[in-house]
Amino acid sequence: MGDVTTVTATAPAQRRRPELAAFLRSRRARVTPADVGMPPGLRRRTPGLRREEVAQLSGVGVTWYTWLEQGRPINASAQVLDAVARTLRLDAAEREHLYQLAEVPFLPAQQEPADALGPEVQGILDALAPRPAVVYNARYDVLATNAGYRSLFPTMAMLPPSERNSLHQLFTVPGCCCPVLNLDEELPIMVGQLRAAYGRHVGDPEWEGFIARLSAASAAFAAMWARGDVIPPGRRVKVFQHFDTGPIRMTSLSLEINGMPECRIVVYTPNDGVSAERLDRLMALDDPHFGCTHHSRRLSEWRPGARAAKER
Rounded mean pLDDT for each run of 10 residues along the chain, 312 residues in total = 49 73 90 81 75 91 91 86 91 86 74 63 93 94 92 82 90 81 92 89 89 96 93 85 89 88 92 95 81 64 50 47
- 142 with 270, same domain: the answer is yes
pLDDT at 145: 93
- 86 with 125, same domain: the answer is no
- 169 with 214, same domain: the answer is yes
pLDDT at 143: 93
Residue 108 lies in a domain: no
- 38 with 77, same domain: the answer is yes
Residue 291 lies in a domain: yes
Output b/e per residue, 205-232; b: 16+ Cβ within 10 A.
Answer: eebeebbeebbeebebbeebbeeeeeee
* pTM for this entry: 0.65
Residue 114 lies in a domain: no
Q: Which domain range does residue 42 map to?
A: 11-102
Residue 29 lies in a domain: yes
Domain's final residue, options 51, 70, 102: 102
pLDDT at 35: 83
CB 201 within 8 A of CB 235: no
- 176 with 249, same domain: the answer is yes
- 85 with 135, same domain: the answer is no
β-bridge pairing 236-240 and 142-145: unpaired
Distance (Å, whole) CA 261 – CA 294: 42
- What is residue 185's three-state secondary structure? helix
Residue 78 lies in a domain: yes
Residue 295 lies in a domain: yes
pLDDT at 177: 72
- 92 with 128, same domain: the answer is no
Domain's final residue, options 48, 74, 102: 102
CATH code where residue 140 lies: 3.30.450.180
Long-range contacts of 58-62 (CB under 8 A, 24+ apart): 58/83, 58/84, 58/86, 58/87, 59/1, 59/2, 59/83, 60/1, 60/2, 60/84, 61/2, 61/3, 61/4
Distance (Å, whole) CA 37 – CA 16: 32
CATH code where residue 40 lies: 1.10.260.40
pLDDT at 311: 46
Residue 163 lies in a domain: yes
CB 134 within 8 A of CB 119: no
Domain's final residue, options 72, 102, 132: 102
Backbone angles phi, psi at 174, to 5 degrees: -55, 140
Residue 226 lies in a domain: yes
What's the number of domains the chain is made of? Answer: 2
